[in-house]
Structure 1
Amino acid sequence: MSGAGAAADQKGLMETTYGFHRHIYDFTRKFYLFGRDRLIRQLAPPPGGTVLEIGCGTARNLIVAAKRWPEARFFGFDISEAMLQTARASVARHRLSDRITLAQGDAGDFDLGALFGIPQVDRVFMSYTLSMIPPWIAAIEQGARVLAPGGSLHVIDFGQYERLPAVARRLHFKSLNDFHVYPRRDLPEVLERVAAKHQLRAELTPLLRGYAWAGALRQG
């Protein structure tokens, strides 16, 4: 299947899955998408800096980040137009439309210039996105390519439950798979490989006994 065909299929899947769930997404996800605010605290963009979220969903994270880092400009895109409808309304409700710009795009093949008219950004982050998109490795690669000098890429996603009961892993992973969410067991190796390719420093920190993995790619 061509890249365009795969993207269309993924877009259709996300529209079907989250056409309704977008209305209750933020309320339900706060109970198990741990580590998101930790990631936002660690972004620390430079004054006047730019921050991109790949797979922004309802823009919950962008809004939290924009309030925490008021001197930065924020950009986010998602493949789902249904999610973006909710995101645009939420950004407007929080009166952040002048600092948060949203667009529709494919995480595995995006062009910052075409989407936002900028060539690069100081920070890139992906929050529980990698486990939802088939081209997740391409998304990390593309995120690394658009980093400005001194920039960094940050991810938070489901880990492999390394220090949690096996039965908990089986039950939770089954529920995640029902929503087309697949934790990436080879995320550490992929981060190391992308880091080596782009001359970055890779970091990975298990959280909550392996429930989540927090990773980063940093310049310098």
Structure 2
Amino acid sequence: MGAAEAVLMDRIYRRQRHFYDITRKYYLLGRDRLIDGLAPSAGGRVLEVGCGTARNLVAAARAWPQARFYGLDLSAEMLATARREVRRAGLEGRIVLARGDATAFDPALLFGEPGFSRIFLSYSLSMIPEWRAALRRSLAWLEPGGELHIVDFGGQERLPAFFRAGLRRWLRGFHVRPRDELEAELRILAPAEGRLARFDRPFRGYAQHAVFARRFRP
């Protein structure tokens, strides 16, 4: 991802960011389930890649007060809203935000941190053209024994065909493409990187939810 993608994201969200959370709560399903499953240790560092308005970070910081939270996003427009929401929640001391590319970020440069015990992506992989590179980048900065949590659009395989076709046509208008190969890609990564601890397709396949555990170094 690069400058062109950043311009596109800012154009998409320049107006949408003002009502994003009100509308998305009806169809970005499974986000709170992901947050409930993070379970970071005391003092653990948790990163959201593609943090958007910081809705998830605020919820996660309230759910897990013993941890520290970080968020990165490519869109300066979204980050403006995120910073406002973090201030409004009174969580400036526990949530740090930075502009960064999901496929090329360095936490030492962005946050002064060496890595994270938890990293999560919530409905962001489907908006990242080089989504496989984003997966690998996240795993690269995950501490040994840490976990990568993902929720995103699934294949809708147990929903009516007309619904699936209409949903995907509508999502394409927002440059969103469900990553049907996500489970296969995580299984490819598993032998070298860790193990796929969980993968399911809730809401009749509307969403897909994964937890990937990073292996401990010998």
Relative to the length of structure 2, the TM-score reads 0.96
Q: Paired residue for 1:74? A: 69
Q: Deviations over 1:183-217 (max 9, x none)?
A: 01111111111222213334311001100000111
Matches within 5 A, 1:110-189: 110-189=105-184
For the aligned residue pairs, the C-alpha RMSD in angstroms reads 1.0
Q: Deviations over 1:120-143 (max 9, x none)?
A: 100000000000111211111111
1:219 aligns with 2:214: yes
For the pair 1:45 / 2:2, whether they are aligned, the reply is no
| Partner amino acid, structure 1, of 2:26 | F
Aligned twin of 1:3? none
Which residue matches 2:101?
Answer: 106
Match of 2:49 among 37, 45, 54: 54
Q: Which amino acid aligns with 2:86?
A: V
Where 2:136 maps in the other structure, the secondary structure is helix
Deviations 1:73-130, CA, capped at 9 Å, x for gaps: 0000000000000000000010000000000000011101000011110000000000
Question: What 5-or-longer segments of structure 1 have no aligned partner?
Answer: 1-5
Instruction: Measure the CA separation in 2 of the matches of 1:68 and 1:45.
Output: 10
CA distance in 2, matches of 1:211, 1:32: 9
Q: TM-score w.r.t. structure 1 length?
A: 0.95
Quick check: 1:191–1:202 contact (8 Å CA) kept in 2? no
Decide whether the 8 Å contact of 2:196 with 2:210 is kept in 1.
no
Deviations along 1:142-182, whole A, 9 cap, x unmatched?
11111112200000000001111110000011111001000
Identical columns (%): 50
2:14 to 12, 19, 34: 19
User: How many residues matched?
Assistant: 215
Unaligned runs of 5+ in 2: none
Q: Is the 8 A contact 2:143 2:214 kept in 1?
A: no
